[in-house]
Chains A and B, each alone.
Chain A
């Protein structure tokens, strides 16, 4: 048995996919790219990895299918060259904003006042290296419901204290700072564009528990947790 703790720890799905990609590259090195032989070899290796790492079998299957779908799907052709460049430039700009937030968090964690105003739930999460999905999962919500909270489309008075506490804990901020953010004005989706003559109207804010009940992506198990919080409250 190796003394290396990494070797003794069962690999997670991310590590398994990493190894799978390396081995596939080796296996296909001498096989011509887009041929039935290459597809067969890739599938055999995928099966081998799914068998060898049953805990990561579903993730491997999802990953391989997504790869194939991306590679075999036609791209969007409606964008002009200028639009394409502008979108790529926007990705770089947003990336540099993320980099700046990550560095700011690394540089001066002690300077971040727990009660300082929040820039937004997703932005704060990004600054802490959390993705939207991981934040939603940590606070026992779904991405769509988290986005609603981030855009302040949920009536503040209906948000249970447990939700505020979990958000505050994950973001390393005070409950007061989270509460102050969630009581701000609602926001439109960042990608929304409006062509109507009349100014767009913001939808009415939704009750938190109603949003839970109507959330199609939330499991019944998770809904039951929130239902219990509601009945206990």
Chain B
């Protein structure tokens, strides 16, 4: 869906272009928060030098210009043919989030070999959507930038993880070898009320770094998020389906994780 054509002089009389995208479940049009609208009205009254000065305030300051407003300003400058200014604002946006991009790729378990491809995918998607001033693909970024950025970055990592998972499964049958190990039937009966309490969660976070990646991922999905080991229902999230391994493998990983964490508790 394309936004309505730009009204001549819209910026000079401080009108802010409406969003055209809608939430799919309610059909309600997306709306910026009043705070973002107020920031935009102020930003549009500034000249370039004043705006750049205003953008120097970091997020702890009351004068901080929110990412949602920044996204709008980038797109309006592109529409106005102010490409250099649009790039300067895009650089500020990237600088704000470069650290998060890096941390998320690392924490998402993407290895160094695929790090740059994953990062390239994120920044290409982000900039392509923002710079596509003829579509409303990035309207969500002006509504909740944090959620938009979550969707974009975690979505890319999710796709890379699936691709790597496929590669690993094709290359190895390790995950079926430990199927002969003892099964923990008890786990089948654990309902989500047995998930970690608030206190246990805080305590266990410290110990998660002790677990190898495979065990940690299974453990957090099971005990922090309360996912079932397996489920025959396509609408119930299940660890074995997500990991692409058998339920017995999941249980064995949980058992191994528990053994490590038990030693940690005893040593504390």
Q: How large is the interface on B (under 10, 10 to 19, 20 to 34, 35 or more residues)?
A: 35 or more
Complex Cα distance A86/B227, Å?
Answer: 38
- Chain B residues, Cβ within 8 Å of A217: 163, 166-167, 170
- Residues on B with C-beta less than 8 A from A75 are 103, 106-107
Whether B44 is near chain A, meaning CB under 8 Å from some CB there, is: no
Binds B, one of A13-21, A158-166, A199-207: A13-21
Given A19-B24, A68-B225 in contact, is the A103-B87 Cβ separation under 8 Å?
Answer: yes
**With known contacts A68-B225, A75-B107, A100-B87, A91–B237 Cβ distance under 8 A:** no
Q: Which residue of A lies closest to B153 (CB)?
A: A70
Known: A7-B27, A22-B23, A62-B162. A36 touches B155 (CB 8 A): no
Looking at chain B's contact residues, the main secondary structure is helix
Listed stretches B3-11, B34-42, B62-70, B115-123; interface member: B115-123
- Complex: A147 Cα to B30 Cα, angstroms: 39
Asked whether A18 and B157 contact (CB < 8 A) given A4-B27, A43-B225, A50-B236, the answer is no
B197 is an interface residue with CB less than 8 A from chain A: yes
Q: Which residues of B contact A232 (CB under 8 A)?
A: none
A69 nearest CB across to chain B (Å): 5
Contacts of A185 in B (CB 8 A): none
Chain B residue at minimum C-beta to C-beta distance from A85: B99
Contact partner of B104 among A15, A57, A65, A70, CB < 8 A?
A70
A-side interface residues, number (CB < 8 Å): 80
A88 B102 Cβ-Cβ under 8 A: yes
Q: Does A46 sit at the interface, judged by CB under 8 A?
A: yes
Cβ-based interface call for A230 (8 A): no
Q: Does A92 contact B87, Cβ atoms closer than 8 Å? A: no
Complex interface: stretch among A109-117, A129-137, A169-177? A129-137
- The answer on a CB contact under 8 Å between B154 and A67 is yes
Q: Which residue of A lies closest to B22 (CB)?
A: A6
A25 B201 Cβ-Cβ under 8 A: no
A50-90 with Cβ < 8 A to chain B? 50-52, 54, 57, 59, 61-76, 84, 87-89
Interface SS of A by simple majority? helix
Distance in angstroms between the alpha carbons of A23 and B140 in the assembled complex: 13
Q: Is the CB of B108 within 8 A of A69?
A: yes
Q: A66-B154, A67-B150, A102-B128 in contact; A43/B227 too (CB < 8 A)?
A: yes
Tell me the nearest residue of chain A to B118, going by C-beta: A132
Check A91–B108 contact: CB distance below 8 A: no
In the complex, what residues of B have CB within 8 A of residue A76's CB?
106
Whether the pair A72, B237 counts as a contact (CB closer than 8 A) is no
Q: Is B246 interfacial (CB-CB < 8 Å)?
A: no
Complex Cα–Cα for A98 and B239 (A): 37
Cα distance, A87 to B105, chains bound together (Å): 12
Whole-angstrom distance between the Cβ of A25 and the nearest chain B Cβ: 6
Which residues in A have their C-beta under 8 angstroms from that of B78?
Answer: 106
Which residues in B have their C-beta under 8 angstroms from that of A196? none
Q: Please measure, in the bound complex, the distance between the C-alpha atom of A6 and the C-alpha atom of B99, giving whole angstroms.
A: 35
**5 CB-based A-B contacts, threshold 8 Å:** A63-B158, A71-B107, A74-B208, A87-B102, A94-B123
> Which 7 residue pairs spanning A and B have beta carbons closest together?
A51-B235, A129-B128, A74-B209, A88-B98, A66-B158, A72-B220, A216-B170
